[in-house]
Amino acid sequence: MIASLLVANRGEIACRIVRTCHDLGIRTVAVYSDADEDALHTQLADTAVRLPGASPAETYLRGDLVVKAALAAGADAVHPGYGFLSENAGFARAVRDAGLTWIGPPPAAIEAMASKTRAKRLLGIAPLDHVTDADLPVLVKAAAGGGGRGMRVVRRLADLGAALDAARAEARGAFGDGEVFVEPYVENGRHVEVQLLADTHGTVWTLGTRDCSLQRRHQKVIEEAPAPGLPGELERELCRRAVEAARAVGYTGAGTVEFLVADGRAHFLEMNTRLQVEHPVTEAVFGIDLVALQLRVAEGHALEPAPPAPRGHAVEARLYAEDPAASWAPRTGRLHRLAVPDGVRLDTGYTDGDTVGVHYDPLLAKAVAHAPTRAEAVRRLAGALERAEIHGPVTNRDLLVRSLRHEEFTGGRMDTGFYGRHLAALTTPAPDPLAPLAAALADARDPARSRFGGWRNLPSQPQIKRYALAGEEHEVRYVHTRTGLAADGVRVLHADPTRVVLEADGVRRTYRVARHGERVHVGADVLTALPRFPDPGRQHAPGSLLAPMPGTVVRLAEGVAEGAPVRAGQPLLWLEAMKMEHRVTAPADGTLTALHAAPGTRVEVGHLLAVIEEDDR
């Protein structure tokens, strides 16, 4: 029996594992980096051990330090969660060699499936050893790890060499393994996976299918269970092949086998020898706790001969601190408020007031809705996200709501090319036209901000406030009257610092308002309060190239130096932010007249990276 368990992870998955352990009466130990000293998972666990440093390579990827922490804290088991060391066979062996219980499959099974090339060959699938024009498009893919890192789609043979180099560099930085391989790229297929759970007595459960087709940068955004619209014969084939893969390596514990489904055929992708990020949708449909079952399997208990019967449908959306309209750039800053309405499961590693930093994945939370039918689950999740209070960095919330309501998704016709086709339309701003007025009226009723309070004996001059909303500047005018605040064309029924009620064209609307510094949240809209006069100190010279996100400069492109000619779209440097590398390119043809970045430089949003003097036309 496990008495004390160390969670070798952070964020929402660490919090989720801790909660199950507490339900089972198991004591918990957290590990944390310096950046995570006050993180939620350290507060929920019974004890916590510091891993000195901030980057993953210094902390959560140091298996020796994690094992040492488990022994020091008196833990007798280790759960790796997902990511980091969860699919590292050497770490699993080190845990076992230290006399601790490993919550996962045998190290040999991890090793067999950890390399996607070995896994494919084990199942009789050979990667492409030589690529010709006839093979295009192809996908360059890291042999180790996951999460979309170390992957590049190649459509021209001339681009293959650069794609291989970039994928190797990213894979080496993310996983410590630069091995990559090439396979055919299946356009617009569906990403479908099978959840497995196997015990040490020979029983292997298949817990239905999941569809994870909505992806950005090969990372999943929305997942659901079961995968909608699969023919029964195809679903049985997927489950059969998943069981065969598990039995081929003597698998035990929770795992997932992933496929790309196109033209009625299933193409094996990989086996993830760990718990998946999207496991809550399977839990909701089968009424189980996969972490609790992982622990039972690790303790040697036998599974029932068959899993519970599934019921209903579940959908999960990943809420990221990122801007989909700006090439999915991650965002950082203080998360003032995160809350969703009742009836939706929220798995998160953040609490109000936490800071979203630059060192880790930008995942804020996972929201999960379960209902008797798919349509009801989708509607419930979209409505909950729309009404959620998310105050802080820019997020993908609006994209999630629009995606869930898109006719392709509601009709079950989505595929992995969904965002390639629809991203522009899904990220077109559609702010509420009354949001700036609501912000101004709430501000006018805030004693801490309003210099003049209420009605005066003399006729009031219009008060003017300016806001930036969805890339545009809005000027708002209102007046104080004997009966309260007034604005042209709109009846002001109520206004206080957090709630404004307006009536326009006979329709009454209530707005929840929250201000944090110069950022004002009005419902789902986010505004920036503008000063009356711009700060000349914030102006930059023409041709200035500014950092689109906070991060670290990891490398410069070859030949990039002051005085060098550049062309529009040419890569200049790469920023590493939240476990991903982001390419920064020249905005126009010209000459690089100044360079303010070098490898290792830490930058914030808006940091001046370079100045390009455009060619005369």
**Whether the Cβ atoms of residue 214 and residue 419 lie closer than 8 Å to each other:** yes
* Catalytic residue, candidates 274, 345, 380, 515: 274
Is 380 known to be catalytic?
Answer: no
**Whether the Cβ atoms of residue 463 and residue 486 lie closer than 8 Å to each other:** no
DSSP helix/strand/coil, 508? strand
Q: How far is CA 594 from the centre of its chain?
A: 34
Rounded to whole angstroms, how far apart are CA atoms 237 and 223?
21
**Whether the Cβ atoms of residue 393 and residue 331 lie closer than 8 Å to each other:** yes
Q: For residue 194, how many C-alpha atoms fall within 13 Å in the half-sphere facing its CB? A: 30
The label of the residue with tokens 């206080």 reads 496
Neighbour tally for 569: CB within 10 Å: 11
Give the CA distances from residue 464 to residues 2, 67, 477, in Å, rounded to whole numbers and listed in that order.
64, 61, 5
Provide the angle, in degrees to the nearest 10, between the axes of the packed helices 418-426 and 397-405.
110
Alpha-carbon Rg of the chain, whole angstroms? 26
**Whether the Cβ atoms of residue 183 and residue 160 lie closer than 8 Å to each other:** no
Give the CA distances from residue 99 to residues 34, 60, 254, 390, in Å, rounded to whole numbers and listed in that order.
28, 20, 22, 44
**Whether the Cβ atoms of residue 171 and residue 144 lie closer than 8 Å to each other:** yes
Rounded to whole angstroms, how far apart are CA atoms 311 and 315?
13
- Residue of 372, 381, 371 whose CA lies nearest to 402: 381
Residue 613 has which token pair?
A: 């003097």
Rounded to whole angstroms, how far apart are CA atoms 68 and 57?
16
Q: Using CA of residue 333, residue 336, residue 324, residue 116, what is the dihedral sign?
A: positive
**Whether the Cβ atoms of residue 41 and residue 15 lie closer than 8 Å to each other:** yes
* Residues with a known catalytic role: 274
